[in-house]
Structure 1
Amino acid sequence: MKLAVLGGSFNPVHIGHMALADDVCSSLGYDRVLFVPAAVPPHKEMVPGVSAEERLSMVQIACSTDSRFVAESCEIERDGVSYTWDTVDYLEKKYASSLEGKIGIILGSDLFAGFHLWKNAALLAKRCNLILARRPEQSSFAKSANRALGEYAQLENSGDSFDISKEPLFSEAAVLDNPLLPVSSTQIRNLALSGGGFKYLVPSGVFEYIIGGNLYGRK
């Protein structure tokens, strides 16, 4: 079984995430995409107000409608700062009996410039198949409210202009020509807070969960 990992805050998970996972399976032949919500991302400060358990619940709801998608809770259960290197180590052991080839790691273009700062980045690039995905440009309305930390802050706005051909760590990466959906988690949070419509920007079960739990200030 070919496995790919899609990590993130998923605050909340939305149709852009689902479309990306679908394209990874359809275009690159992966059997499963594991959605891995981070406990504490090493590169950004999380927006407060929604718990890790609630973010995981939304991912579980979203994945429940497609057998190719699996919600993986290992980073939240592990707690502390979430490093992809540690997650890959865990997943290789968990799926040892069924894993075919290297695990795929899906990277959005906002992560390209800072990948070299990841824990054991060079080893990770050899250990896994890197999958480079396009990400829509962020409008001023949807500009992330998650504050980049440390060295990542200096690279925060360089994703769209980053030349992947000049990054040796991406020399064997697969470049995905995935569809671009102009939706972001920040945009959805803003819409929920302001009373705007976002019903069709998230899976239907996730929408009901947000409304039912009054997440992001929505009543």
Structure 2
Amino acid sequence: MKKIGILGGTFDPPHLGHLIIANEVLNTMSLDEIWFMPNQEPPHKKKSNAIDDEDRVNLLKLAIQGHPNFKIELIELKRKGPSYSYETMKILKETHLDKQFYFIIGADMIEYLPKWYNIDELFDIVQFIGVRRPSYSHQSPYPILYAEVPEINISSSLIRSRLKEGKTVRYIVPDSVRSYIKEKNLYGP
């Protein structure tokens, strides 16, 4: 049975922090693949709407190109309304009977788990892998596996802010992502 890590998010834009987390979890947890899953409407925060979904997917494709174990799963973008992990994972489990899923979350989401939609049922169908992040608690009443990942304090909102101010994002996003952003004049002033 293939072991698949699911890394969800807005990826608005994807950055090196996302890639480092994915690569570290892939290797430390001996997973077969990481599926990046851009969401439609995150229930826990307001979507930035900085760019359209097509550009988010194109940026994600550029970010993961060349890594044979990184894939993109578009199930949440194809559905309308809030992206509830329970509903998504239920569909993925029913569609991919030959795969075992691991849902990768940062420490900010570990703290928020008790508020997730159908969280107890979600734990019945997927194993969570928590990734440490600076200044967050890693305590949870739920059984979570933990992956040691270098603490990188990069966020998509930081990148959008820097781009809006005309600042550089070199070495924060892959060069291919930076080129696409510049070419399409995304996030700019």
Q: Same fold (TM over 0.5)?
A: yes
**Counterparts of 1:19 and 1:49 in 2: how far apart (Å)?**
24
Pick the aligned partner of 2:105 from 104, 107, 111: 107
TM-score normalised according to structure 1 size: 0.81
State the 4+ residue runs in structure 1 displaced beyond 2 angstroms.
93-96
| Equivalent in the alignment of 2:117 | 119
- Number of matched residues? 188
Q: Does 1:79 align with 2:52?
A: no
| Equivalent in the alignment of 1:94 | 95
**Counterparts of 2:21 and 2:176 in 1: how far apart (Å)?**
19
What pairs up with 1:43-192 in 2 under 5 angstroms?
43-96=44-97, 98-99=98-99, 102-137=100-135, 160=136, 162=137, 164=139, 167-169=140-142, 171=143, 173-192=144-163
Structure 2 residue matching 1:80: 3-state secondary structure: coil
Structure 2 residue matching 1:112: 3-state secondary structure: helix
Q: 1:93 to 1:163 in 2, by over 3 A?
A: closer
Residues 133-170 of structure 1, C-alpha deviation per residue, up to 9 Å, x if partnerless?
01235xxxxxxxxxxxxxxxxxxxxxx1x351xx322x
**Counterparts of 2:14 and 2:45 in 1: how far apart (Å)?**
17
**Counterparts of 1:200 and 1:192 in 2: how far apart (Å)?**
13
| Equivalent in the alignment of 1:153 | none
Identity rate, percent: 30
TM-score normalised according to structure 2 size: 0.93
In the alignment, structure 1 segments of 5+ residues that lack a partner are: 138-159
**Counterparts of 2:53 and 2:39 in 1: how far apart (Å)?**
8
Residues 50-75 of structure 1, C-alpha deviation per residue, up to 9 Å, x if partnerless?
11222122112212221111111110
Q: 1:118 to 1:206 in 2, by over 3 A?
A: same
Instruction: Give the root-mean-square deviation of aligned CA atoms.
Output: 1.5
